[in-house]
Amino acid sequence: MYDALVLPFIEFAFMQRALAGALMLSLSACPVGVFLMLRRMSLTGDAMSHAILPGAAAGFLLYGLEIVPMTIGGLVAGIFVALGAGAIARLTVQKEDASMAAFYLISLALGVMMVSLRGSSVDLMHVLFGTVLALNDGALTLIALVSVTSMVLVGLFWRALVAECMDPLFLRSVSRLGSPVHFIFLGLVVINLVAGFQALGTLLSVGLMVLPAAAARFWTQRVSTMCALAIAIGFASSLVGLLLSYHASLPSGPAIILSAGAIYFVSVVASPRGLLLSRLPKSLHRAA
């Protein structure tokens, strides 16, 4: 048991770095995912994860696989798409989900084309799916900064974030924080996706944000408990996924996301609010 579960993280520095990066991502991204889910914006998070691709690709074209240029490019692209989609939704007849979808499709195609102009298929796979087992000091530093920033901002604006999830119109009527909190939240989504991109790539970074949050929703209704449980599920998914990757020679990023997916499906079936237990009292009542 020790050799299977602990030894890989003792013997290999790359496993230690991967675990540290994945745990820090879970700590910051999973609570953001809870608010994303409560706002019914989970697919918006997926669109935003693709929106950072052109910026990261621009950094790649200019400097290669360097973390700072790709991160700055991803941030700029993500902020541009978030603000652009929001502006179109407010100034035209188009809804925000449609404008976000349009930006997402354009960004994905543009980013893939930009990477393909200079890089190989290996570079494209690196950008799209990440390399959590190859995290360096720069990537870990970025993830740590994003994690600390996210926790501080969520702590400072906790009540406003919860209120906006429940009744955004009420929050705007009683507080000036309504609109600022919305953009702060979008900023949190962007920076966590940029940090997750370093480990999981643009296609999978949203998975560690949304899947643990979606699974936690089946177990509790309290937002604070939901955030804590989502973090715990993120931790478990990261640990199990990395061990599966090590022992079964699987790609590490997909293994982490599939582990989170397995926990989600268990929650769908076996949780107190899942398919089985939520229907059990009604079945017993009808039988009686």
- Per residue of the chain (288 residues), give pLDDT as tens: 877 888 889 889 999 999 999 999 999 999 999 998 888 877 777 777 777 888 888 888 888 777 788 888 888 888 888 778 777 877 787 777 777 778 878 888 888 888 777 766 666 677 777 778 888 888 899 899 999 999 999 999 898 888 888 776 666 676 777 678 888 888 898 889 888 887 887 778 888 999 999 999 999 989 999 999 999 999 999 999 999 999 998 888 889 999 999 999 999 998 888 787 766 665 544 544
Three-state SS string over the chain comes to CHHHHCHHHHHCHHHHHHHHHHHHHHHHHHHHHHHHHHCCCHHHHHHHHHHCHHHHHHHHHHHCCCHHHHHHHHHHHHHHHHHHHHHHHHHCCCCHHHHHHHHHHHHHHHHHHHHHHHCCHHHHHHHHHCCHHHCCHHHHHHHHHHHHHHHHHHHHCHHHHHHHHHCHHHHHHHCCCHHHHHHHHHHHHHHHHHHHHHHHHHHHCCHHHHHHHHHHHCCCCCHHHHHHHHHHHHHHHHHHHHHHHHHHCCCHHHHHHHHHHHHHHHHHHHCCCCCCCCCHHHHHHHHC
Query: Which pTM value belongs to this model?
Result: 0.86
**pLDDT recorded at residue 145:** 93
CATH superfamily of the 2-287 domain = ABC transporter involved in vitamin B12 uptake, BtuC (1.10.3470.10)
3-state secondary structure 188-240: HHHHHHHHHHHHHHHHHCCHHHHHHHHHHHCCCCCHHHHHHHHHHHHHHHHHH
The rounded radius of gyration (Å) of the Cα atoms in the chain is 20
Q: What is the pLDDT of residue 69?
A: 84
> What pLDDT, on the 0 to 100 scale, is given for residue 119?
65
User: What is the C-alpha separation between 138 and 269, in angstroms, rounded?
Assistant: 40
Asked if residues 264 and 211 have their Cβ atoms less than 8 Å apart, the reply is yes
Q: What is the pLDDT of residue 288?
A: 42
Query: What is the model's pLDDT at position 27?
Result: 94
What per-residue confidence (pLDDT) applies to 239? 95
Q: Nearest to residue 205, comparing CAs of 102, 95, 118, 129?
A: 129
Phi-psi region of 220 (alpha: psi -120 to 50; beta: other; left: phi over 0): beta
Please say whether the beta carbons of 9 and 165 come within 8 A: no
